[in-house]
Amino acid sequence: MFGIVWTFQEFQDNIKNAGLNDIVNPIIKTSEKAATAFNEPVELIFIDGAHEYDLVKLDYQLWFPKVIEGGIIAFHDSVGWPGPKKVIEEFILKSGHFKNISRIDSITFAQKVETNFLLHLIQNRCDFIYTSFLEHIAVLIIKLKLPSVIRVLLKSIYDTLKRLTYSK
């Protein structure tokens, strides 16, 4: 859609600067080829790439079985892109295999569990609705041509709610 963007060197620099060379193993393949050849347990999978529903769904279906119990699955561009959003709604929110579902900016993430209790399922929905509400406030603050005093007030409220949400 946007052409080829090569960010691998930047990725390697970030991994090195974070001191993670010993635990991060970059694989330069399509997600499908990498998942097929990868037979190790996964503690964290970050799904980012194509934004079309069928391709995001394929990534999820290929990598979900490899994520360990207690591991994290994260989706980039889960705000504003219908493909990742639909996969999250169908396979994360409606699943009994995730808890602690949350979102920071455009990344939605969840912790894999063997089974879930009804209380966790309800909490997942409420947390997701709340974080979605916060993101909509942020978009409104940016897009609406409000007087600067009102924008500053709304931004302060938004920052406070977001800080309270992610400090739990």
Return the CATH number at 106.
Answer: 3.40.50.150
**118-143 and 148-166 helices cross at what angle (nearest 10)?**
160
Q: Is residue 41 part of a domain?
A: yes
**Residue-level pLDDT at 12:** 92
**Residue-level pLDDT at 62:** 96
Q: Is residue 126 part of a domain?
A: yes
Q: HSE (CB half, 13 Å, CA atoms) of 75?
A: 33
The amino acid occupying position 39 is N
Q: Tens digits of per-residue pLDDT, 120-140?
A: 778 777 777 777 777 777 777
Q: Is residue 1 part of a domain?
A: no
Beta bridge pairs of residue 74: 46, 109
8 class by beta-carbon count within 10 Å (0-12 exposed, 13-18 middle, 19+ buried): exposed
Q: Is residue 76 part of a domain?
A: yes
pTM over 0.85: no
Residue entry with tokens 């999820």: 60
| Rounded distance between C-alpha atoms, residue 119 and residue 121, angstroms | 5
Cα torsion angle, 132, 155, 81, 59, sign: negative
Q: Is residue 75 part of a domain?
A: yes
**Residue-level pLDDT at 43:** 93
**Residue-level pLDDT at 6:** 72
Provide the domain limits for residue 91.
8-131
Q: Is residue 153 part of a domain?
A: no
Q: Is residue 159 part of a domain?
A: no
**Residue-level pLDDT at 133:** 77
Low-confidence ranges of the chain (pLDDT < 70): 1-5, 162-168
Q: How many domains does the chain have?
A: 1
Which structure tokens are listed for 125? 């929905």
Q: Is residue 33 part of a domain?
A: yes
